[in-house]
Amino acid sequence: MKYRPDKYGVPISQLGFGCMRFTRKGAGIDYARASGEIMLAVEQGVNYFDTAYIYPGSEELLGRVLEENRCRGKVYIATKLPQYLMRTEKAVEKTFREQLARLRTGHIDYYLMHMFTDPAEWERLRALGIEDWIAARKAEGSIRNLGFSFHGDTESFLKILDARDWDFCQIQYNYLDEHSQAGRRGLKAAAEKGIPVIIMEPLRGGKLVRLPERARNALRASGTGFTPAELGLRWLWDQKEVTCVLSGMNSAEMVEENIRIASDAEAGRFTEREFALVERVRRLIREKEKVGCTACRYCMPCPKGVDIPGNFYFYNLMYLERKGPARMEFAQNLGLRHDPGFAAQCVGCGKCEAHCPQHIPIREMLKRADRELRPLPYKIGISAARKIMGRK
């Protein structure tokens, strides 16, 4: 296993174990299977395990496995506070103590504010007094490193990144999402500040493993010998700004394959031929896209606050993947942030089209995107969720 340093020089395995997708058995997690997979990873040098309060049964299982196998001291636990549910500092403290109990530990090595999409979320937590709470937990040693996980646009990520001296952060990043969400720009900005970046969804929930036939054929014909997963993982580890890549491993075979790749991959080893292969595979995956948007952002800012690249990203995602999950991701990442930037806010001024290098008929495509991303049930659901969160 190869390791990359965190902010304070602690070696983190460049492959991390994502604990969200354990195999289920009946109403819970298949303990025997999950335990075997975790211990196989530990024995091969994986030392970063990522879970969250809202992953059903995950914290409890990880804590039990580490305690029963007496290996807590060999690994670092990362878990997340469901900040979107917190209304008082007392609730934060209660949730944190529950997490310590679930994980059967006295400290969390890497503690994240879960799923930020907007700088306003951090400001809300600050108003609750969370900075004093964090300082107290750090002083007593129950939190070693404080960070955040992020789903939102690049500008929001950069603002949150500047909001305090974070110890680390976690972003969704892969060769399809290179310029969406925090994106490459966010990755580099974090690295320039010396903030380690943990990568989630490196294979887009398996979408970059289950490639379209033409993309699979291109990969086979490349002569690299890479599996689809290997292409995606090596592309990430080629970037020195990436600290750790999480994989939601739920079979011994997956653990072994990922460890094989992680034990060999290094930054700066990709060849021009391999970069060209990624570009070709990406282009073949995107043949079903509805809008040829490259997220260059020349169209931005919109005078009415429309997130043009964001709307087009999720509109395309409906046809790259499945409509339901894409709409849910749209609602979560764009619809619930403080300034949602819905396509319906467009007034047709045409300023964006004058700057688009792809000559996209943006105004018309925004109308189509809004119709498909926000059918009536989603409009109602997003509106209700925003009211619960105290947003207009």
What CA–CA distance (Å, rounded) separates 156 from 185? 12
Which residue shows structure tokens 């994502």? 18
Q: What is the pTM of this model?
A: 0.84
Are 113 and 125 contacting, i.e. CB atoms less than 8 angstroms apart?
Answer: yes
Are 86 and 128 contacting, i.e. CB atoms less than 8 angstroms apart?
Answer: yes
For residue 262, CA distances in Å to 15, 65, 233 come to: 6, 23, 8
pLDDT in tens, the chain (392 residues): 999 999 999 999 999 999 998 998 888 999 999 999 999 999 999 999 999 999 999 999 999 999 999 999 999 999 999 998 999 999 999 999 999 999 999 999 999 999 998 899 999 999 999 999 999 999 999 999 999 999 888 999 999 999 999 999 999 999 988 988 899 999 999 999 999 999 999 998 788 998 989 999 999 999 999 999 999 999 999 999 999 999 999 999 999 999 999 999 999 999 999 999 999 999 998 888 888 887 777 798 899 999 999 999 899 889 888 899 999 989 988 888 888 899 999 999 999 998 886 789 999 999 999 999 999 998 899 999 888 877 77
Cis peptide before 357, with omega less than 30 degrees from 0? no
Are 344 and 338 contacting, i.e. CB atoms less than 8 angstroms apart?
Answer: no
DSSP type of residue 210? S
Domain positions in the chain are 3-278, 290-388
150 SS3 class: strand
312 SS3 class: helix
Residues 6+ apart with CB under 8 A from 307: 153, 334, 340, 341
CB atoms within 10 A of CB 378: 17
pLDDT, position 388: 82
* DSSP for 227-251, written as a single string: -HHHHHHHHHHTSTTEEEEEE---S
Question: Which residue(s) pair with 24 in the sheet?
Answer: 29
271 SS3 class: coil
pLDDT, position 156: 92
Strands 15-18 and 48-50: parallel
Q: Which CATH architecture has domain 3-278?
A: Alpha-Beta Barrel (3.20)
Residue type, 42: V
Tokens of 41: 């990873």
Task: Report, in this order, helix, strand and coil percent for the chain, each rounded to 5.
Answer: 50, 15, 35
For residue 343, CA distances in Å to 273, 309, 311, 366 come to: 38, 10, 7, 5
pLDDT, position 357: 65
Residues 6+ apart with CB under 8 A from 10: 76
Helix 362-373 / helix 323-330 crossing angle, nearest 10 deg: 100
